[in-house]
Structure 1
Amino acid sequence: MPAFEVVMPMVDHRICVRHLYANFRDIGGYRGLALKEQLWSAASSYTEYEFNDHMEELKKMNEAAYEYLSQIDPSTWSRAWFSDYPKCDLLVNNICECFNSYILKAREKPMLTMLEMIRKKLMRRYQVKREGIKKLTGKLTPRIAAKLEEIGLQAIDCIAQYAGDSMFEVTCPDNRQYVVDLGRRRCGCRQWEITGIPCSHAVAAILYDCGDPEDYVDECFTIEVYKKAYAPVIYPMPSEEQWIKTSHDKLEPPRGRIAPGRPKKLRRRAPDESRDPRNPYRMRKYGARMRCGKCNGVGHNKRACPTNRSEASNSKKSDTPIVSFSYI
């Protein structure tokens, strides 16, 4: 983190809340559904007063858990303290996980082979994206346009009143009021500043002003910027035997130490994660007692049922032939 502050000071450094909760639960020892929901509520809050309310509720539930979270900078894990520069409100590192699975086969290869596989995949991906962008119409990318349309449906229930100087007072169905400043592109709920997409309160004010909500979306979500993102070409490369020979000595790889055992390819999963690749959302049954489907007993299954032994012994007795001898 100190290195990022020096090299890339404009980067908004964040912590994945999912991993934060894992440490909160396993290292801190603060378990329970109520504490989990309170932590996620505090992380999902867009305003400071909502964040403080959820933290106070957490303090009433468990003061030690409150002290544990208070030691972590809230600007790294709560939306209420996020910077409005990145235009992103993500709380988890799903983007990193998606790219990690995208290069899963390349990760186990040697360094040069791995980089070459990633280059080829990205070269192909960039060209596919450029071909797809040519088919897009309108101003915004499709997902953002669909999201803005959904927000517009929510704005129907909001009532906007013009106060002057491009400022509006918007009343919601729950009787909450928010101040919307169209000139500065800000709303009291802070969703507009964090995400770059007008919230339902802002859309209500924009429609009252007879404007187009698409004109108030941040330019990073436009098709033009989308084209610029994939405009650079990753050029093809010849095979190694066609490379230019130099007079320098050939670099030898560092001496590696082969660790004992088979190398692991999959990441370490949390205790509450599913091990079934066919059903990754299946949860494990913690605390559930095994019940036998044969004798309805508790603590064993049909294979280890005690009745199997008695049946086996009875079958052996019944299979023993009875021989009768007659003497003449």
Structure 2
Amino acid sequence: MKKKWNGKVYKNHLWTCATASTVPEFERAMKNLKEFNKDCHKYLDDIPPRHWARSHFTGRAVSDVLLNNMCEVLNRWLVDARDKPIITSLEYVREYLMKRIVNVLGNIKKHNGILTPYATKQFEVIKKDASKLTVLWSGSQQYQVNGLHGEQVVVDFGTRECACRRWEITGIPCKHVVACLYNLAANDDQVSPPDQGGAPEHWLHPVYKMETWRKTYTFTMKPVNVPPRIRATAGRPKKNRKKGLEESDNISKDGRLSKKGVQMQSSYYREFGHNNRGCTNGGTSKKRTSEAGGSGSAKKSKKDARA
């Protein structure tokens, strides 16, 4: 979408559609985009909204994350291991996970609250916004919550649902739910079971609890023994086993090197199959060779004299 329809206006339209938590809000945002640009609206409408819009999230993942920042962070730290051999690359990943887990364990020891640091920060903002709302009890497990800008939603504690769907999607009670919890506490009603301390934080999904965070990191990466590297020698490595002196095939019975398998050649006629001792024309050939050498020397002397 950024390649075809770039700019802040298109970006705002996209985020309005993506961050809408209810289907009616999503449809209104898509309608506004259609009035602004029909081609851009058709491009987004062809993509199933369950892949990119909060309004169509089921809540099974207990998350409203729209970006892949978690994957990008991991990819950033593992980019140096891409061009390495597979064993070296896996060792790089293992060592990174070891350091990552140790850092998280250090953060766990520093935090003693009911919720994780991220959930604590988010819930503090929600509680601050909840103090500005008014609540009406229906006499059952349903409440009506009115906002400052005329908004009016229904909270059902029986099904743990709110009309804004934020509680259902994220697992964190929205400002409407927290406002109802404040109303319960003001009327001396039990906000949560007595064994849990009666705090609104216990209405969050277990994934945001410190207890769950500790259980997640009970399994650590173990160190591995790696033998020292052996520097390879120059040249092509030999495949055949080196034989000992006593098992060599080239040693004869008298201790001398055997010529078994070596092809004999006569130095007289350069014939194969026999040596000088077995050559029948050894003397004759030797004489002819010397005579030929002498004749050649005489001819060369006469030529030099003429010159």
Of 195, 198, 203 in structure 1, the residue corresponding to residue 170 of structure 2 is: 195
Of 228, 236, 259 in structure 1, the residue corresponding to residue 223 of structure 2 is: 236
User: Structure 1 unaligned runs (5+)?
Assistant: 1-23, 243-328
Distance 1:145 1:69 in 2: 35
The answer on 1:113 being equivalent to 2:88 is: yes
Q: Deviations over 1:188-245 (max 9, x none)?
A: 1111111111111111011111223201111001011101111112111110469xxx
Matches within 5 A, 1:1-328: 24-26=1-3, 29-210=4-185, 211=191, 212-240=199-227
Identity over aligned pairs, percent: 35
Query: What is the letter of the counterpart of residue 118 of structure 1?
Result: V
Taking a change above 3 Å as real, the CA distance of residues 67 and 128 of structure 1, as seen in their structure-2 partners, is: closer
Q: Is the 8 A contact 1:42 1:55 kept in 2?
A: yes
Q: Deviations over 1:146-189 (max 9, x none)?
A: 22111111111100111133211000100100111122221111
Q: Is the 8 A contact 1:182 1:206 kept in 2?
A: no
Displacement over 3 Å in runs of 4+: none
Q: How many residues align?
A: 217
Query: What is the letter of the counterpart of residue 75 of structure 1?
Result: R
Distance 1:96 1:64 in 2: 31
Taking a change above 3 Å as real, the CA distance of residues 35 and 130 of structure 1, as seen in their structure-2 partners, is: closer
**Scaled by the length of structure 1, what TM-score is found?**
0.63
**Scaled by the length of structure 2, what TM-score is found?**
0.67
Aligned counterpart, 2:287: none
- Structure 1 residue 67 displacement after superposition: 1.3
Q: Deviations over 1:282-317 (max 9, x none)?
A: xxxxxxxxxxxxxxxxxxxxxxxxxxxxxxxxxxxx
Q: Is the 8 A contact 1:187 1:201 kept in 2?
A: yes
Find the structure with the greater CA-based Rg.
2
Query: What is the letter of the counterpart of residue 104 of structure 2?
Result: K
DSSP-derived class of the 2:131 partner: helix
Query: What is the letter of the counterpart of residue 207 of structure 2?
Result: C
Query: What is the letter of the counterpart of residue 193 of structure 1?
Result: E
Query: What is the letter of the counterpart of residue 219 of structure 1?
Result: P
Distance 1:125 1:58 in 2: 43
